[in-house]
Structure 1
Amino acid sequence: MLEGVETSRLLKTVTEQAYNAVLITDADLTGGGPFIVYCNPAFCRMTGYERSELLGRSPRLLQGPETDRTVIDSLRQGLHQQTFWEGSTVNYRKDGESYVVNWNISPVSGDGKRVTHFVSMQQDITARVRVEAERDMLIQALNQAHDPVFVTDGDARIVFANAAFESLTGYRAAEVTGKTPALLSSGEQSAEFYREMWKALENNQPFQARFINRRQDGSRYHVEQSIAPVLNHFGRRTHFISTSWQVDDLVERENALQIMATRDKLSGLLNRRAGDEALYKAHHEHLANAQPLSVIICDIDHFKAVNDTFGHLAGDRIIQLIAELIDQQARSGDPAIRWGGEEFLIILQANLTAAMGLAERLRSAVEHLQDAEVGLVTLSLGVAEMLHGESTEQLLGRADGALYRAKRSGRNRVMSGAGN
């Protein structure tokens, strides 16, 4: 064990070389006290005073206009009560420059009973307070921003979300803190989409795309979202910042334009141009995945007579009624097209048997359709399945031939184009 002299020498050496400022005062609280009896070099560096300028003086010489009087009153109360005290406020260096100090004061009992001194450990926290103030200002600015912003750490866990984010998503910032943005996923974007996103971010590149996200209440919304890595001074990625702007109105307009470009105005089915694209896509999938491909071509019987007898408004109404039946009967994902004036095309990823079954159901449904003005309406239908090595033109030609035979055979019937 160290002897008393050695202990005192060690404590003095430690105090003199300590990084934090150390100040010792007496315990005399009268006559403007307590007064400084010791300060280490760190305290002198922090205040700008020489040790000789401080000894015997009150620490009050460090106070100034911005010193918080409430803090000083609390300090004085702690001294009078001879209890541990801690606080922070603004002090002033010898040259008049202000700094923020955090310090604690502990009473020291010389004989174990009577307090003879107070020892204070102090630290200049000006830089930390400045950083915190800048952070608070940044947070306030982000919360005033109109567009949603959130920040994640390097593990993609949310550490900040602004008020606009809360308003858009329905989540409070406290609810999402510590969670990943995956809670916003709607499931409507592919795994490949997210792989491309992470490929860019892991290479410290920004990623921007349109996201279909989900609010807390389950409703979907669209945003143009930009995600950027945040790098520290060493070039290491520490955070990600995401900014976005809602584009639901834009998506709605785009969808309306898409409908105008691809939908037949009268029937609501795909138009001829969109039908050509759908047939091309179906043929590509047929070749790539060896899936069966069939088509149904149907034509309203005696349609010219309907127009001639009842007028074009009645003819338009019949087209709409039959288009509605076709849309109801066709399987989800099977394109239904207004192929011509009174002619319709259905594309099926199905074999001839399934296509013939659908065609017969359509024929029967139309046969039971009674228009109050026109009366009975019927369909003739031709069906064909894609053969090995056949083109779409040849497939349509066989279906069209089957439709022609159905017409010649008395109409209101389904004919197969198999083998032709």
Structure 2
Amino acid sequence: MLEGAEASRLIKAVTEQAYNAVLITDGALSSGGPSIVYCNPAFCRMTGYERSELLGRSPRLLQGPDTDPAVIDSLRQALRQGRFWEGSTVNYRQDGEPYFVNWSISPIVDDCGQVSHFVSIQQDITSRVRAETERDMLIQALNQAHDPVLVTDRDARIVFANAAFEELTGYRTEEVIGQTPALLSSGEQGPDFYRTMWQTLNSKRPFQARFINRRKDGSRYYVEQSIAPVLNKGGSLTHFISTSWQVDELVEREKALVDMATRDKLTGLLTRRAGDDALLRAHQEHLGKDTPLSVIICDIDHFKQVNDRHGHLSGDRVIREVAGLIERQLRAGDPAIRWGGEEFLIMVQASSGVALGLAERLRSAVEHFHDPKVGQVTLSLGVAEILPGESIEQLLGRADGALYRAKRSGRNCTISAAGN
């Protein structure tokens, strides 16, 4: 245990060599006191004063225009009450430059129980305050931004979300902090999409794409999103920052343009060109996965007479009604195509047996339909299933031949192509 002179020398060495500024004043609170009786080199470096310029003077010489009066009042009250105090404000160096200081003051009591001195430990926190101020300004700017901004750590845990993000997604910031952006996933973009995203980001390159996301209430929305990796001075990945802008209206316009190009204006079914593309894709899948593929070609019976007797408006109405009846009978994933004027093609990704059953349901549904002006309407249908090594053209030729035989057989009937 250190005692006497040895302890004194150690205490002096500690205060003289301390990284933090140390200031000791006497305990006099009157006549402008207390006065400085000791300051260490760190205090001199912080304030720009020589020790000789500080001893015997009041610490008030460090105060200036931006020193917070409320902080000083709180300090003085603590000194008068002889209790510990801690706070921060702006002080001024000898050259007039302001700095932010955080300090704690402890009263030193003598053997009689009276406060004889005050010891203050001080830190220059200017860099920290400026960093916090810049951060707060950045947060304020990001919160005022019109577009959503999201920041995650390198493990993709959300650390910041701005007000626009809250407005778009319906999630409050406190609900998403610590979560990953996966909570926004709609499930409509597969693993390959996100694998590509992470491969790009982990290679420290930005990633931009259209995301299909889901709000807190379950509704879907589209955003063009740009995600940038944030690197520290050493080049290590620390965060990701994402900015996005909602493109729901753009997507709707794009869909409308696609529909104009791929959907028949009268019936809403696929156009012949779009149907050709769908058949090509189905044929490629058939070749790649050996999946079954059948087609139904059907034609409204005696349609020329409908136009000749009742006019083209009635003819258009009948085509539209028959198209609606066909579409309501179809399975999901089996597209209907307006193949010609009054001719339709249905692509069925199943065997000819399934396709024949569907064709008969179509025939029956149309047979039981009566147009108020034209009367009964019927269909003739030809069905064909693709054969090994057969092209789309050959498949369609056999289905068309079956349709021709159905018409020759009295119409209002379904015939399967030879070879099925």
Alignment of 1:194-233 (within 5 A): 194-233=194-233
Partner of 1:368: 368
Cα distance in 1 for residues equivalent to 2:296 and 2:177: 55
Q: Which portions of structure 1, spanning 4 or more consecutive aligned residues, are displaced by more than 3 angstroms?
A: none
Return the offset for 1:124.
0.5
Return the offset for 1:112.
7.1
Contact 1:24 1:119 in 2 (8 A): yes
Greater shift after overlay, 55-64 or 1-10? 1-10
What TM-score, normalized to structure 2? 0.99
Amino acid at match of 2:274: A
Partner of 1:139: 139
Cα distance in 2 for residues equivalent to 1:288 and 1:402: 27
Amino acid at match of 1:258: V
Structure 2 residue runs of 5 or longer lacking an equivalent are none
Amino acid at match of 1:167: E
Partner of 1:325: 325
Cα distance in 2 for residues equivalent to 1:4 and 1:155: 56
Alignment of 1:328-367 (within 5 A): 328-367=328-367
Cα distance in 2 for residues equivalent to 1:94 and 1:221: 59
Contact 1:292 1:350 in 2 (8 A): yes
Amino acid at match of 1:212: I
Return the offset for 1:418.
3.2
Partner of 2:418: 418
Amino acid at match of 2:379: L
Number of residue pairs aligned between Structure 1 and Structure 2: 420
SS of the equivalent of 2:227 reads strand
Partner of 1:389: 389
Question: Is 1:305 aligned to 2:305, yes or no?
Answer: yes
Partner of 1:155: 155
SS of the equivalent of 2:107 reads strand
Question: Is 1:398 aligned to 2:398, yes or no?
Answer: yes
Amino acid at match of 2:380: S
Partner of 1:293: 293
Partner of 1:273: 273
Percent of paired sites with the same residue: 76
Amino acid at match of 1:13: A
Return the offset for 1:140.
1.1
Contact 1:211 1:225 in 2 (8 A): yes
Cα distance in 2 for residues equivalent to 1:15 and 1:198: 53
Return the offset for 1:100.
0.8
Cα distance in 2 for residues equivalent to 1:63 and 1:320: 87
Cα distance in 1 for residues equivalent to 2:3 and 2:49: 34
Structure 1 residue runs of 5 or longer lacking an equivalent are none
Partner of 2:314: 314
Cα distance in 1 for residues equivalent to 2:203 and 2:112: 63
Amino acid at match of 1:184: L
Question: Is 1:18 aligned to 2:18, yes or no?
Answer: yes
Amino acid at match of 2:174: A
Contact 1:63 1:90 in 2 (8 A): yes
Contact 1:385 1:418 in 2 (8 A): no
Amino acid at match of 1:116: S
Cα distance in 1 for residues equivalent to 2:387 and 2:15: 94
What TM-score, normalized to structure 1? 0.99
Alignment of 1:6-155 (within 5 A): 6-111=6-111, 113-155=113-155
